[in-house]
Each structure stands twice: as C-alpha cells, then as structure tokens.
Amino acid sequence: MNKSTNQNLYRLFQSRFPKDIDNIFLEHARGTLSFADLELTSGRYAAVLKSSGVTKGDRVVVQVSKSPEAVLLYLACLRVGAVYIPLNTAYTLAEVSYFIDDAKPRLIVCKPAMQEQFSSAFASRGAAVVLTMAGDGTGSFSDRALTLEADPAVIHSAENDLAAILYTSGTTGRSKGAMLTHGNLSSNALVLHEYWGWEPDDVLLHALPIFHVHGLFVALHCALLNASKVVFHTKFEADQIVKALPHVTVFMGVPTFYTRLLETPEFDLQTCQNIRLFISGSAPLLTESFTAFENLTGHKILERYGMTEAGMITSNPYEGERIAGSVGFALPGVTARVADQNGAERPHGEVGILEITGANVFAGYWQMPEKTAEEFRADGYFITGDMAVMDETGRIEIVGRAKDLVISGGFNVYPKEVETIIDEIPEVTESAVIGVPHPDFGEAVTAVIVANEGNTLGADNVRAYLERKLANFKQPKRIIIVSKLPRNAMGKVQKKALREQYAGIFS
Ligand code: MCA
Ligand code: AMP
C-alpha cells in the first residue's frame, strides 16, 4: 500500500459514491438523505468539530439517539481524523463518567435532556465541550452547523491512525476501549462487501443500534461501499420491520430480531419475496430459529461471528452451505486457530480457544498496554476468549465462552461488573451473576444473592439500587436471594452449578 495515499475510511466511501450523487443514501421517518446531502452535511458537521477545537486524534464521545444526523456525525469525525467513541444510549451518568475520565474527549455530544447533567458532571474534567443532538437531529450541534460553511476536506490518515474507540467490558468488570484504526475498518468492510456478494441494486434494512460494531460498521459500511440505499429504522419493532422487508434485499440482525419476526403473525413467505440475504450475528443463533426460519421463508440465515476488537472474524459462505450452529470459515485475510491455554494449536475436532490474526484485529486497548499484552500471544495472535471447534475444512463452531460473559439480546454484560455493584449494597454478603436461557433475549442476566444474616433484603431493594448505577439491559431480569452459593473444594463459586439449577426459570 502506498503510504502517501490517504487511507481515511471516508475517502474509501467517497470513492464508492454512486455516479448520480443525488441517489438516496438514507430513507428515514422524516424523509430522505442523498449521497450529495451526506457529503455536504458531514462537511458542515466537520466544520462544527473543527470550530469546537477538535483536531486529528482528539476523542469525540457521542451518546445520542439513533438518527440520520448521528450517522453524519460519525462520518464527520472520520473526515477530520477524530476518534469516534459511541456510547450505548442506555448507559447511566455513572457509567458514562468512567468513559469520559478514561477517554478524555475534546467534545461530548449528548441528548438535549442530558446537557445540564453532562455539563456539570464533566466541566471539571478537562476541556470537553458539550453539544447536543436530539433524535430528530436538532440541538446545539446542528444549530452550529447551520452557521458554518461545509468543509470539503478529508484529512490525510494512515492505515494505523485511530478511527474509533469502542468500549467493551471485561471479566475484571472494568471497561476497555478497543482502538480501531482506519485500516482495521476499511479492510473488514471491503472483505464483507465482497464475501456477501453485494449487488448493485441491493437495499439494506437497518434496525440495529449504531453504537456497536454490528449496526455502525458491519451494516453501514457494507451499504456505503455498495452505494446502496439504506431503509433506516431508529429501532427494531417487529411489525414495522415486517412492513419494510418487502422493499429491501438485505437484512442484518441479532438472533432476537429473528425470534421476534418468527413470532409475528404477519411475517411470512410474501414478506421475504425480494430478500437476497438475511444475516445474523452478535450472539449464537439457535438451530431451532435457523430451521423455523427456513421452513417459513425458504431462506437460510447466514450466520457470522465477530467481536468489537476485530470486527467480523468468520462467516458462513454466501454461495456454499450455510449450516445451523456453525459460524462458517475465517474470512479472507483472517487466520484462525483453535488453541489450548498456552496458545498451542489443538487438533481438528477438539475444543479450544479461538485465536486470530488479520488486518481487522484492533490496535490494542486505549491506555492499557498490559491488558493488551495479556490478550495477545507472542506470535501476534489475539485471544478471543471464545471456545471453538474447527473441522478439517476450516469450518468453525463456537461452543462456549472461556470469558465470563452474558449476551442478552445481542448486548454484552460482564457478570463481574454487575456483581461489584450488587456487592456495594450494605445488606449483601455476596452475589453471583449468571446468564440463563431466555426465549426472547437468548440469555437473561440473573443475580443470585446471599444477604447478611438476619437481614430482610428483598429483590426490590436491589433493583432500586441498580437502577441508578447500571444500564437497563444489564439489570437482572430475575433476582434470587439464597442462603449460600455453591462452591468447589477451592472455595470458588460454581457458576456452572447455578446455571444448571436455574436453567428453566424463563421457560
Ligand atoms: C432492551 N431491554 C433489554 C435488552 N434490550 N434487556 C435485556 N437485553 C437486551 N438486549 C429491556 C429494557 O431494559 C427494557 O426493560 C425493555 O427491555 C424494553 O426496552 P426496549 O428498548 O423497548 O427494548 P427493545 O426495543 O425490545 O430492545 C430489544 C432489542 C435491542 C431490539 C433486542 O436490545 C437491540 O436492538 N439489540 C441489538 C444489540 C446489538 O446491536 N448488538 C451488537 C453488538 P424494562 O422494561 O425493564 O425497562 S456488536 C457485537 O456483538 C459483535 C461485534 C458482533 O458480532 O456483532
Ligand atoms: P462484543 O464484545 O460486543 O464485540 O461481542 C463479541 C462476542 O459476541 C464474541 O466474543 C462472541 O462471544 C459473541 N458472538 C458474536 N457473534 C456470535 C455468533 N455468531 N455466535 C456466537 N457468539 C457470537
């Protein structure tokens, strides 16, 4: 790759804009946005960023509702070389404070309702400017944009320059910022666009949140590389999706999207008449869902596997066989091996931890060199923490997780984080947070708590405490108070025993 060429991801998108720049890019509840609008308004937003003091490498933290304007804000960050940090809209002020302290952004963009709280909470934390953006795009950010000329520039970026930091929690309970470069994002987008056989007339139905890899990168980047129209829904509502599906060709979702569609009476063969490709990921797609979906629609959902630190890693083939329960093959450019605890490759057919290398693999955790070093082998392989089996053909199945992680409706919840907060409650002796099967969310966060002796701690007290501290999707769907937790001979809490004991509580 010629080092002097601009590797900025936005430059790549620009190179794929349609011949007719007035073609529609986003179709949304309030109207449409063309590629010309995209270019102009992201240029205006870039001017706002610059006028707010944002320069190359500065972090911009964004916690706003999903909207076309939020997409443009992301693209504007790319254009000025800022490091985009999207946050789940469900995060509480307490959670956001950690990210602000860690990332030290130059600019924070939040919902108007949060402006006062953010401004007072973060005023003392360096030079962060706080601007607002509402779900309808209005707010101080857009107000400022109206007063400025569009800046046509796309800053020169090298492959290794940071484009985004996405926070992922960890088994220690402390969130880590995964640093993703322009090279990481471009390479993964180009591979997926090719591998999934995007066609000139494809139209994408987008109903995922845009603060995670799936909705922000996988879905939007593929559409942008294809100059496709995106039918943009601000959230997943099964009845609305059923109405929109006949007008699109590609749909991406977490398994909960598919189980909810299957439960919607209006969802049938007719709904899917124009669909070329259904893709699922972020959590395991149950074989029952895969089969029920195929029986109803004739479509085999294409399951792929990825993670924040590496974007997409494996995929079932587009042309070849899509097998339920398998996540397919390492994507072109990704090398995968199944290894033991020491990184030594295991024979085909045996379970081990999946390790990977490739241009998609992140540049490390923000300001955590030791944590980064722990997650890489000496030969450069990244340890995913997922348990896998690979057959002789290279086909991979994810069979479990070495990391203590619950995936609820496609959102990751690290038990340690929830346990730490529950344990702050004075009446609590100890707690164990587990994931148990749930018909809608796949897994549901469940807390098993031991209260201090003689105490009348109730589930409601715990709930009330957690509400202020934790995002709603991390809050336990069930709280169970017990007299003691099962432990092994070493005194370690046996979560496996708890998962087995409570496996049926949501069925
Ligand atoms: C909402 N709630 C949840 C979840 N979402 N509870 C547990 N797990 C969840 N995922 C709760 C709320 O707290 C609320 O509880 C109630 O459900 C209704 O909230 P609402 O917002 O209306 O929920 P919803 O619209 O029905 O949302 C469910 C959803 C959503 C559509 C499945 O969670 C979703 O869009 N998930 C997608 C996640 C995603 O994009 N993941 C990709 C990560 P209460 O009523 O008690 O207040 S990227 C990734 O994993 C890697 C890289 C990869 O491979 O893609
Ligand atoms: P995140 O940290 O949000 O990037 O989540 C990444 C994790 O989601 C992976 O490490 C896996 O545990 C899980 N995951 C993603 N896609 C799949 C899939 N298709 N099947 C099973 N697990 C998946």
CA of 33 to the centre of ligand 2 (A): 32
- Ligand 2 atom nearest residue 307's Cα: 4
Asked whether 315 lines ligand 2 (CB < 6 A), one says no
Residue 197 reports pLDDT greater than 70: yes
What mean pLDDT do residues 218-238 have? 98
CA of 223 to the centre of ligand 1 (A): 23
Asked whether 403 lines ligand 2 (CB < 6 A), one says no
Tens-place pLDDT, residues 69-107: 999 999 999 999 999 999 999 999 989 999 999 999 999
CA of 357 to the centre of ligand 1 (A): 30
Q: If you average pLDDT over every residue of the chain, what do you get?
A: 95
Residue 2 reports pLDDT greater than 70: no
Buried b (16+ CB within 10 A) or exposed e, 174-209: ebbbbbbbbbbbbbbbbbbbebbebeeebbbbbbbb
Three-state SS string over 446-503 comes to EEEEEECCCCCCCHHHHHHHHHHHCCHHHCCCEEEEECCCCECCCCCECHHHHHHHCC
**What band does 127 get if pLDDT is binned at 50, 70 and 90?**
low
Residue 126 reports pLDDT greater than 70: no
pLDDT score, position 173: 67
DSSP state of 365: B
For residue 72, which phi and psi values (nearest 5 degrees)?
A: -65, -35
In this structure, which residue's CA is closest to atom 5 in ligand 2?
A: 307
Tens-place pLDDT, residues 446-497: 999 999 988 788 999 999 999 989 999 999 999 999 999 999 888 889 999 9
Asked whether 254 lines ligand 1 (CB < 6 A), one says yes
- Ligand 1 atom nearest residue 441's Cα: 8
pLDDT score, position 354: 98
Sequence-distant (6+) residues with CB within 8 A of 158 are 3, 7, 182, 183
Q: What is the pTM of this model?
A: 0.96
Asked whether 282 lines ligand 1 (CB < 6 A), one says yes
Tens-place pLDDT, residues 44-61: 999 999 999 999 999 999
pLDDT score, position 169: 79
In this structure, which residue's CA is closest to atom 47 in ligand 1?
A: 472
Q: Which amino acid is at 5?
A: T
**Helix (H), strand (E) at residue 134:** none
- Residue among 214, 375, 398, 414 to mutate when testing ligand 2 (max atoms within 8 A of CB): 398
H helix runs in 394-458, sequence order: 415-423
Number of Cβ within a 10 Å radius of residue 133: 25
- Ligand 2 atom nearest residue 303's Cα: 19
What mean pLDDT do residues 325-335 have? 98
Asked if the 30-156 domain carries CATH number 3.40.50.300, the reply is no
Please give the Cα distance from 416 to 489 (Å, whole number). 21
Question: Selecting from 3.30.300.30, 3.40.50.1980, 2.40.420.20, 3.30.1490.20, what CATH number does the domain 406-501 have?
Answer: 3.30.300.30
Sequence-distant (6+) residues with CB within 8 A of 78 are 8, 9, 10, 84, 154, 163, 182
Residue 361 reports pLDDT greater than 70: yes
Tens-place pLDDT, residues 287-318: 999 999 999 999 999 999 999 999 999 999 99
**Helix (H), strand (E) at residue 428:** strand 428-438
Tens-place pLDDT, residues 394-441: 999 999 998 889 999 999 999 999 999 999 999 999 999 999 999 999
Asked whether 415 lines ligand 1 (CB < 6 A), one says no
Asked whether 177 lines ligand 1 (CB < 6 A), one says no
Residue bearing tokens 């107000």: 143
Please give the Cα distance from 87 to 71 (Å, whole number). 13
Asked whether 214 lines ligand 1 (CB < 6 A), one says yes
What mean pLDDT do residues 256-266 have? 98
Residue ranges of the domains in the chain?
A: 30-156, 406-501
DSSP 171-235: TTS--EEEEEEHHHHHHHHHHHHHHTT--TT-EEEE-S-SSSIIIIIIIHHHHHHTT-EEEE-SS
- Ligand 1 atom nearest residue 409's Cα: 10
According to DSSP, the β-strands at 311-315 and 302-307 are antiparallel
According to DSSP, the β-strands at 334-339 and 329-330 are unpaired
Q: Answer whether 80's CB lies under 8 Å from 140's CB.
A: no
Asked whether 284 lines ligand 2 (CB < 6 A), one says yes
**Helix (H), strand (E) at residue 70:** helix 68-80
